[in-house]
Structure 1
């Protein structure tokens, strides 16, 4: 059986040929004598003239089954009108099955119409050749049953193949969608980590550098040195805590990055004042705004103050937080005066404001920043209805 499956294109035609020879040797012909146009019966070996070519068609069945079915039908008609063998009919049914399985749904409907026309024609021809109508109808029913059963089984196999292909396609698409979603999730996580690293760690580290440089640039005193050390310590602890939470998320995939809310604003303002800014705060926001919005407000204020400390040291900064008439939140940070810090050299890359814009867009809001007179202004509007 393994050899037969491996050499099916050769084994099946040989089996058909052997059956053709056996049928001729046993005289298994004359089955369609009703339709014979010969004046008298001929030798059964004449059936080989149509049977063997029909057997050869089976070897090429997988290449063009529909075209070969047409050739087999011609051989069957010749055999029908002469010797009346059975092999050509079997080959026709075999190729009909192969053509139906390989056909598209629309072409299968065409094959069904062809079967109906052929059976009707054979029935009509039978009725003209017999005296008993019942015999002609019986011949038509037999041919219809053979061709119909063959077509039905082939259609079932074809539909099963199509269903398997559809399920495979859906599985492949689900796998591709899973990969896309996984990639999108990784991208969002990376963007979140980039925002947190920039907003928290980068700000705290730059504060450490600025406070350390300030302490080194003046004649020290015990009180000023201790104040500078306390500021460095506080910024180091904040950066350490943020890094710990980020590492925990990256390592375990659980939990959230430590987020500051508006309760951290006094500490941010105090730190900004330590860095030489003159900050005033007008916070008229109500309590209970959504946590993502509360977090974004704090991040916007924090990054704005950090930018002022780096690029407008000694400036006057006004922080105004208010609620809009449509239930949204307004954040405004305006700075006036000040000068850029040149030592230590802290290089910026413009990511800070862009990350703030991304944070605002993620919540369905907007953020604008740019020069305003002799200073700089950051304005953001955030809806309290957080997108799902």
Structure 2
């Protein structure tokens, strides 16, 4: 037989394990019958002296049939195999039913999660058959030999099935752990990506959106007024300044996207509020600033204060052009207080639709630092007020 034929035969055996094993046991039964081989004749000789080896084919064929269903119904097959094996041992003394019983015991142990009942059943069968052998023969040695033979074979089948089952369970556990680790890694990567997206969205909203809104508002205000060269040029200068700042910010962010090792520069803090107020004045607001904060604020608080003031001024530019805006920054009782009041818009608001993201982002920023932010209308205008612990670690 060539190598190709051997390979095909092995493939067929792997695909048809049950029929292949049944055929093997059938050949063993025929060979045992032809050679007169028995296993019980030496154990209980008084019962099998006149038995013909060919009679052993009867339980052997029953055992072979059980091999065909052992994988589908392992527990029923095991019970039937034990019965066939017991009948064979005490009546025929054949070889195949005993081998098949051990085989089915292995398969049942391997395929069943609850293996303790199988162990108890195996021990019970061995004990009953040993006692029966001693009682029938009247010889304690027969009971001992039956217990030794069946106990050794049954123990081997149970041990091997348990070992294979535990190996499979361990492999399955490792696979689940690997899959859990893969999912956790994917979740962490997604969270990191989402965090970067959120940071980019905040940066775009905090900086770029404010400049773009200022450009739209100043240009729309200029178009709605009668021609005035001085006013028009002032509006153009404001639009130019906002566009330059937006352009510089976009270039920085694009550089960050292209170079993963670069971080977005930390936004300016309280020191930039004077510049923010001046930019708001150029956009048409009447801004007054009261800043009593120390210069040694922690970085998160410093940046949060600046962002709150920046977003509040941007909202005033969008929704209350020409309004009077009062900014008050103080530290009281271990908290930094930020209050921005606006009233008396002198021009209709520009046709810009907000989505509320700005205030929501500010609330999240204040909450992350252990503070709170409230925003809403007052009798004479609008107020944004935030209180943040001053001792937040930097």
TM-score by length of 2: 0.89
Alignment-derived partner of residue 368 in structure 1? 374
What does the per-residue CA deviation read over 1:23-49, in whole Å, with 9 as the maximum and x for residues that have no partner?
Answer: 001001262464478585122111111
Whether 1:42 and 2:51 are equivalent positions in the alignment is: yes
Partner residue of 1:103 out of 112, 127, 132:
112
Secondary structure of the residue aligned to 2:318 is helix
Alignment-derived partner of residue 312 in structure 1? 320
The range that moved more, 45-54 or 240-249, is: 240-249
Alignment-derived partner of residue 167 in structure 1? 174
For residues 228 and 152 of structure 1, do their structure 2 counterparts lie closer, same or farther at Cα, with a shift above 3 Å needed? same
What does the per-residue CA deviation read over 1:221-262, in whole Å, with 9 as the maximum and x for residues that have no partner?
Answer: 46x565444433322222112212222233333333342222
Question: Cα distance, 1:324 vs. partner?
Answer: 3.5
Partner residue of 1:2 out of 6, 11, 24:
11
Alignment-derived partner of residue 354 in structure 1? 360
Alignment-derived partner of residue 137 in structure 1? 144
- For the Cα contact (< 8 Å) 1:242–1:257, is it kept in 2? no
Whether 1:27 and 2:36 are equivalent positions in the alignment is: yes
- For the Cα contact (< 8 Å) 1:37–1:82, is it kept in 2? no
Question: Cα distance, 1:350 vs. partner?
Answer: 2.6
- For the Cα contact (< 8 Å) 1:41–1:83, is it kept in 2? no
- For the Cα contact (< 8 Å) 1:281–1:320, is it kept in 2? yes
- For the Cα contact (< 8 Å) 2:322–2:347, is it kept in 1? no
Whether 1:148 and 2:140 are equivalent positions in the alignment is: no
The range that moved more, 72-81 or 125-134, is: 125-134
Question: Cα distance, 1:348 vs. partner?
Answer: 2.4
RMSD: 2.5
The separation in 2 between residues aligned to 1:61 and 1:2, in whole angstroms, is: 21
Whether 1:287 and 2:295 are equivalent positions in the alignment is: yes
* Long gaps (5+) in structure 2: 1-9
Partner residue of 1:123 out of 114, 126, 130:
130
Whether 1:334 and 2:372 are equivalent positions in the alignment is: no
Question: Cα distance, 1:129 vs. partner?
Answer: 4.7
The separation in 1 between residues aligned to 2:19 and 2:48, in whole angstroms, is: 38
The separation in 1 between residues aligned to 2:41 and 2:117, in whole angstroms, is: 27
The separation in 2 between residues aligned to 1:297 and 1:51, in whole angstroms, is: 89
* Long gaps (5+) in structure 1: none
- For the Cα contact (< 8 Å) 1:36–1:82, is it kept in 2? no
The separation in 2 between residues aligned to 1:144 and 1:284, in whole angstroms, is: 91
The separation in 2 between residues aligned to 1:315 and 1:239, in whole angstroms, is: 24
Alignment-derived partner of residue 261 in structure 1? 269
Question: Cα distance, 1:281 vs. partner?
Answer: 1.6
Alignment-derived partner of residue 300 in structure 1? 308
The separation in 2 between residues aligned to 1:340 and 1:112, in whole angstroms, is: 90
Alignment-derived partner of residue 6 in structure 2? none
- For the Cα contact (< 8 Å) 1:34–1:129, is it kept in 2? no
| Aligned pairs, number | 383
TM-score by length of 1: 0.90
For residues 298 and 85 of structure 1, do their structure 2 counterparts lie closer, same or farther at Cα, with a shift above 3 Å needed? same
Alignment-derived partner of residue 80 in structure 2? 71
Secondary structure of the residue aligned to 1:82 is helix
